[in-house]
Structure formats: C-alpha cells, structure tokens
Structure 1
Amino acid sequence: MNSTFAQKTIYILVFSKAIQGKRFSRFSSNPGVGGTQFISISLALHLAEAYPDWQVRLVSNSEVQLENATQNIKQEIFDEAIDFFKALALLEDHLQSAIILGTASFLNGIDPSLLKKFEARLVCWSHHPFDVGAASLVSKLTPRAVVCVGTYQFYSNKRLNARVYQIQNIFIAPRYPDTDWRETIDPEKLNIVFLGALVPAKGFLEVAKAWRGLKDRFPAVRLHVIGSAGTYGLRSDSGLVPTSSDYAQAILNFIPEEDIHQGLVIFYGNLGEEKFDIIQKCDLAILNPTGYTEAFPASPLECMACGVPVIASDDHGMSDCMRFFPELVLRSPQDIVHRVEWLVADPLRYLEIQHRAIAIAQWFHLQRAVILTRWIRLLEAILDSTDTKLDLAPMLPFYGSRRKLMIRRDIRPRLSVAKRLILSPLKALGVGK
C-alpha cells in the first residue's frame, strides 16, 4: 500500500472471487457478476474519470481487468479484508484525507473492534431494503454515513441510528434499439425473457409457476432465462437448470424437462454483453414478481433500454422504475398471465409502452453526472466535517404503501423480538418441544 498520497482518496472494497479476471469499463454492462460487485467497480471507474483530483483505490482479493481506466485509479490486492485495514492503520496521517466505502453486508462481517479506528472515515453502502446488516453494523459502531441506492430502500432504512443518505446507482444503458420499430406484435409467437440470478430471492420460481398458464394461452410461447446461481458465486449442481439442485428441482416441478429439451424454455446461464442480443429479440420481460430483496435493480432498466416492456412487481426497489408502468405491475404472481394478455392485445398500445420504456431507461442513463456529483458532495462534506448539514434525500418521491412500510420497518422487528423473549424461556423449560 502506497503511503505517499497527497490527494483525497476513496477506497472502494470489493472482496469477491466471482469478479476474478472479469473485464470492466465505464460504459460496458455487467459481465455476469453480482449487481453489487458490478456497481462498486463501475462507481470506481466513473468517479476516477469524472474527478481526476481524487485518488480511487479498488481494494479486493481478486484482480480484474479495467479497460480505458484513468491514471488515478489503482487496484490493491489483499488476501483478506483484515490485511487491508491493518495496512491502512499504519498510515494515520493519510486517514485524514481518506474515505473507505464498503457494503453493509461486507463490513458487518468484519470485527467491529478493528473497524472502530476507521469509523470517522467509514461509509456503509446499503444495497438491501430493511437492511439487517446495516442495522447490525450501526449497533456496534458509528459509521460516518449510510448510503442507500433506492428510494423505497432509503425510507426502509431511514430510521437507522446513523446519517442516512440516498444516492442512486449509476445505470449505463446498452445500445439503444434501431429506429425501424416493429409496429405489430404476434401473440402467437411470443418470446419472453427473464433476467436475473437463479436464486430464490429473484423470484424465477413464480415465473415457472405461471409457465403452464402462459403455454395454455400462447401455445407457441418461448421463455428465455438469462442468469444462474453463479451470479453470486454459488454452485450450479443441476444439469438442466443452472442453479442449486434443490432450487432446480423446485423449478422443474412446474417446467417439464421436455419443454427444455424442445427449446421452449432456454436457460443461458450467466452472460455479459451478449445478453442484449437475446433481450432485443424478445417481446416482453417478466422480472421479480414480488420485488422482495430488491433495492435498485438494473435488470428492468436493461430490458427497457432495449425496447422490451417489463412486467414485474412495483414493491420494494422495483418501484424505482415500475412506478412509471402501473399497467404492467403485478399485484401478485398470479397476475402474470393476465398482464401478458393485456400487454399484447393492442399492437399500438404495445408500441406506445415500448417507447415509454426506452424514454424511462434514457432518463436513468442521463442521471450519471447527477449521481457522481452527489457522491462528491458527500465525500467532500465528510472530509470538511460539514456533513451534518448535508441533505441527500431521494430525488423521486416515496411510492407505495406507507402503512405497509411502517409494518415492515417498525412493527415486525418489534414483534419478532417480543416473540423471541417469550419463547426462549419456554423452550428452556421444555415447553413446545
């Protein structure tokens, strides 16, 4: 670790074996890693390019390929995070001009006594609604800030015992579709895409449950599934479905093996830029039908940028983009077939929604400079000790049920604690066993 930095420095922590050897650039899409790892590296590249007066250090246990990177970004490799913090602790003078950015889930796994020395320079980056990792972290120490990425997610974490801000993730749109739009859609030859990791939290099982109904209504329908458990560095044990054997079996309970062999349902696994060749050939996307665990997902925006309307939940982080498509919102996974029917019933209405999808994706794409400026405002305010006056609330208004948010955020955790307090003594006495 270089100890001669004279400039302001931000350390962005990305410890993940899944990123090893992958290629990243400022304007490329996710090469097939977890969204959190991708956006961390993307932010490092964009900050370094936009603010050459800052030194950006990408700290990891795996080296990645950075294309067209500016001179002020460097990689620092450590076997373990503890090695990084021990090395940084020796540079006390440098800490006055340095900030450390790490995800809540990652920082929560590090000994808090080790992090205590750095809490005045520590920014906790939250990528989950109702973030138990962030809550656990701020119960043990006082990070300088907690940064949320989504609007609903910000309000779900707003009452953490910390300064909570919202800075949206950078979204870099893929190439936009050609101008020779198809003005008709053939419901008899539908191609549907699902884009997301094949883990329970992303909701593909609900799409699988709707498969029989989709086939009954649209006999020639094809389902294209992009993603795998490997997105999060997990093993894929099934030969047919790229996920764990248990989850694969659950999926195969609703999607017959014959449909996979006949190419009616195609599992592509993890893809990089080539995924857009598949997405652009599809008529619509069905994404997370519950929204559960989402903070600010890029997958709906990637589909929209390709002119592919998205059917999904508008709950949790899905609300950031699905709020613009109330006609396509799933109130429950059982609505999937009905929403598809409505979308493809009127060709001109479908075309209008296509154009709206591209317009929304472009709007998010154009927020890049705003997002980077918000980051620099936060970082500069921390170094200048003026962050107590800083207000970085969401740019979009709250969307959704405030009552449901209150129950999830304030009431359920208390009920859970009360339940444990009541049941623990009873279990100790053998009651209920």
Structure 2
Amino acid sequence: MNQKSGKIKVGFYLRNEGYPNADVRFPELGNPGIGGTQFTTIATAYYLNKFYSDRVEVLILANSTKLLPPSLKTAMAANEVDAAVKSKEAGCDIFVFKSQGNEELFKQLHTLNINAIARSNNTPKVHVLNQLADIPQIKCHLCVGQEQLDSLRDHKIFDKSTRIFNPFNADNFVPKNDIVKTGNTVVFLGSIIPAKGFHFLARVWREILKQKPEARLIVIGTGQVYSRNNKLGKWGVAEENYEANSIRPFLSDENGNVIESVHFAGLLGTEKIEILQKADVGVVNPSGATETFCSGAVEIQACGTPVVSAAKGGLLDTVSHGKTGLLGNSDRELVKNILYLLNNPTIAKEFGKNGIEFVKNKFSYQENAKQWLELLTDICNDKLPRQPPMKSNYFYDAKFLREGMRVLKKTIPPLRSIPSLSEIKALLKGGKGE
C-alpha cells in the first residue's frame, strides 16, 4: 500500500496500439468498436476509480494515452514489460496484465518484486498456466467467466485463481421506449475472424432464407475489430483468405456481390445500439470457440433482444438458455433456434425483457468494482483470492471429474503430480495446449 496516500496503487497495462484513434473517454457509453479485452480493461479501471478513489489509486499504462477517460491517470508504455517497470517506478502495489506467455515479463516481475494479477480474457495455453502458477509475484490468476474458472479446478493454477465477470453499464443500451420490431431481422455482432465463428452463420443463411424468405441479416464488425491495421479482402469484411473461402461462397449472388438479404454494416460504435434494439435476434460466435465471457452477448441482451449462439464456454455464463436466448451445438440447431425466435415474436419479446434484467443483475459495473476492491485488498494483505462456488452443471466439460481430482490432490500429496485434464488434452494433441 502506498505509504504517502494510504491507498492501494494499481497499474493496468492496456495494449491499444491497434486503436490509435478510438475514443474511449466515456466507457459508460459502451464499447466504441474495439477488442473486448481492451475495452473491459479501461472500463474496469474507470469504475474502480469512480467508486473507490478514496481507497485505490488507478494508473493506466498504455501504448497510446490519447482519448482515454480524463478521470484516470495515464502513462505511456511501449509494451507490458515496459509497463511493469513503470508501474514499479510509479510506486504501484499491484500490476495487472493480460495473461500470456512472455518470458521477459516473467523475469522482470521477479526482478522488480512487484505483486501482479494475470487477467485471462482468453484462457492461456497449459504451459503458460503452469508458469503463472509457479511465479510467486503473480498473486492472482483472474478469470472473467465461471465456466473458465471451473475448467481449471484440477490444475495447480486454481489455488490462486478467482472469477470476476467483466463490468457492464446497461444504461445506454436499454430501450427508453417500446421498440417496434419487424419480425425478420437477424444481427451478427463480433469480429469477423475464424475464432468468432461468423462462417457458421454464413453457411446456413440460405437455409434460413428457404424457410423465411423475408429474413434479413445485418453484420456488425469486420476483421479490424482487434486492430485497425489488419488488411481486408475484396468485400472489406475480413482477411482475404477467410473472406474468399468461408464467407463469399455462401453469401454471393451470381455476379459475386453480396446477396440482397445481407448487409455488412462495418465497425460501429454507439450507433450499433439502435440496430441491436430493433433486431429480432442477435447472433454471437456460433462456434463458441475461445469465448470465456462474450461481451457481444451481453450488449445484445441489454438492448432487449434475444441471443442465439453455442452452448459452450463463457456463453453458458452470459446467456440464460430458454430465458434470454437459445444455445445449441450444431448447424441444425443454429437454424432452428433463429427461426424459432423469428416465428414466435411473443416469446422473443419475453426473452428480450428477461435479458435486460439478467444483464443488469449479473454483470453490474458497481458489483465489478466492489469485487476488484476486495481482490486488491486481499492481495495487499497477503491473502489468497476469494473463490465463488462451482456451478451446478457438474457434467459439463467433465467438471465433476476435475473437482474430484482437485480434492484428491489436496488431500493426498503424491497425487499432485497427476496432470490436469487440460494438460492431458494438450499431451494427446502433441503440443503445449490450446
């Protein structure tokens, strides 16, 4: 704790070199069209400072410090190693960074002897998890989803892992008046890269049209969500190889142009909100791959629109199946779920209302700031992070087995050498993990 101020001083590293002109001065307005990791880092720091500036001093160390919230203290940092050094120089008690394998950073943390939080918006590969577990300066491995945390129950990283959902302010998303919906509009929201699964929707769109000819698809996002420097293909939608092989074959007319029922809206900031409010169905990452949280699902539900996606990972946290949206595990279920909501507007409307309350209650930015304060305080008091209980879907992802192995390893020391399920999967794949 900072001796002069009596406050906990925390430095957040923000890698924002890919968004030199993104205006994130007002996080309460929502994501202006940048990566979820970057936006939630800013929002976390912003709300922590807003509610607890009397107890916490927040510093953002970023590649670019322009157009950041004016209420926050900022400093330039070329990379996360530079940010760690400057955090120590600035007197920070705790340094927060996105977890990934960076040997130089790990060495620097040891040299600086600064407490650190490794925040996993994406779950690292298992060999990186092993490193995070073994580095004494890393006091907490922070998951952003409960399913993500539960998947680590039998890994040695679990003891210093916890979960804090990403913060979300729904005020600017919830419709102020009754919205008249057309009954035929589907919106996809997300980055147009393979990991975010737009090609799953593209390849079934004509099947949806066969059964619902009046259906219309609006696509919000491009392959530049994570960096404005990425080169796009002929349609200006995604990287050329992905666009040519996984998008255009399914959504082209006889002249090679985008079919009439599809509109690519590009990168949108707050102007996307009206589109999401008027949509009948919102689709996010139908593959479910890489999702530890899925901010897009939260944004859509906050707008009063039901979500359709995959019954996997973070989407099991951010969508309530059968209440705020529908989750499935195949192309057939993707088509079925979209058509069901388009053809049953009364149910879709009820899902939309449920979604607004679900988001407000589960992803409150006030609760997020409170949990961050508790975590920072625990670290300064040399306590292990508090852990929420395991979710009750025990058979998903062999969760019951992971928990059983955790208990056995804890009570029978010789068993601790048994690899976790994640490590076993990595070994079977012949690599270091997914």
TM-score bracket relative to the smaller structure: 0.7 to 0.9
**Paired residue for 1:23?**
23
Q: How does 1:210-225 map to 2 (within 5 A)?
A: 210-225=204-219
**Paired residue for 1:64?**
66
**Paired residue for 1:33?**
34
Query: SS in structure 2 opposite 1:351?
Result: helix
- CA distance 1:236–1:323, shift in 2 (3 Å): same
CA–CA distance in 2 between the matches of 1:81 and 1:130? 16
Instruction: Measure how far apart 1:406 and its partner are.
Output: 7.1
Preserved CA contact (<8 Å) 1:300 1:321: yes
**Paired residue for 2:415?**
none
- CA distance 1:215–1:123, shift in 2 (3 Å): same
Within the candidate set 248, 268, 275, 1:252 is matched to: 248
Structure 2 stretches lacking a partner, 5+ long = 403-418
CA–CA distance in 1 between the matches of 2:105 and 2:351? 49
Structure 1 stretches lacking a partner, 5+ long = 422-433
CA–CA distance in 2 between the matches of 1:404 and 1:80? 37
For residues 408-427 of structure 1, the C-alpha deviation after alignment (integer angstroms, 9 at most, x for no partner) is: 99435325426649xxxxxx
Q: What TM-score, normalized by structure 2, do the two folds share?
A: 0.84
Q: How does 1:38-57 map to 2 (within 5 A)?
A: 38-53=39-54, 54-57=56-59
Instruction: Measure how far apart 1:262 and its partner are.
Output: 5.2
Instruction: Measure how far apart 1:130 and its partner are.
Output: 6.3
For residues 7-30 of structure 1, the C-alpha deviation after alignment (integer angstroms, 9 at most, x for no partner) is: 421000012312323222241211
- CA distance 1:371–1:323, shift in 2 (3 Å): same
Q: How does 1:291-302 map to 2 (within 5 A)?
A: 291-302=288-299
CA–CA distance in 2 between the matches of 1:148 and 1:210? 33
Q: What TM-score, normalized by structure 1, do the two folds share?
A: 0.84
| Higher helix fraction (1 or 2) | 1
Root mean square deviation of aligned Cα: 2.9
* Matched AA of 1:125: R
Total equivalences in the alignment: 404
Within the candidate set 183, 196, 199, 2:193 is matched to: 199
* Matched AA of 2:348: Y
1:414 aligns with 2:416: no
**Paired residue for 2:222?**
228
CA–CA distance in 1 between the matches of 2:360 and 2:401? 34
Query: SS in structure 2 opposite 1:172?
Result: coil
Preserved CA contact (<8 Å) 1:112 1:140: no
Query: SS in structure 2 opposite 1:123?
Result: strand
**Paired residue for 1:430?**
none
* Matched AA of 2:196: K
- CA distance 1:356–1:23, shift in 2 (3 Å): same
**Paired residue for 1:145?**
140
**Paired residue for 1:278?**
275
Preserved CA contact (<8 Å) 1:214 1:221: yes
- CA distance 1:219–1:87, shift in 2 (3 Å): closer
For residues 205-244 of structure 1, the C-alpha deviation after alignment (integer angstroms, 9 at most, x for no partner) is: 1001111101111112211111112111151321314211
Q: How does 1:375-390 map to 2 (within 5 A)?
A: 375-385=372-382, 387-388=383-384, 390=385
Instruction: Measure how far apart 1:129 and its partner are.
Output: 4.0
Preserved CA contact (<8 Å) 2:84 2:108: yes
CA–CA distance in 2 between the matches of 1:287 and 1:334? 16
Instruction: Measure how far apart 1:127 and its partner are.
Output: 1.3
Preserved CA contact (<8 Å) 1:30 1:273: yes
Q: Larger relative CO (CA 8 A, sep 6+): 1 or 2?
A: 2
Instruction: Measure how far apart 1:3 and its partner are.
Output: 11
State the identity as a percent.
24
1:81 aligns with 2:76: no
For residues 240-294 of structure 1, the C-alpha deviation after alignment (integer angstroms, 9 at most, x for no partner) is: 1421111101211211155854542111221110111222222111222231110
**Paired residue for 1:425?**
none
Within the candidate set 121, 138, 141, 1:127 is matched to: 121
Preserved CA contact (<8 Å) 1:119 1:144: no
CA–CA distance in 1 between the matches of 2:381 and 2:373? 12
Preserved CA contact (<8 Å) 1:128 1:295: yes
CA–CA distance in 1 between the matches of 2:224 and 2:125? 23
1:350 aligns with 2:351: no
CA–CA distance in 2 between the matches of 1:288 and 1:35? 14
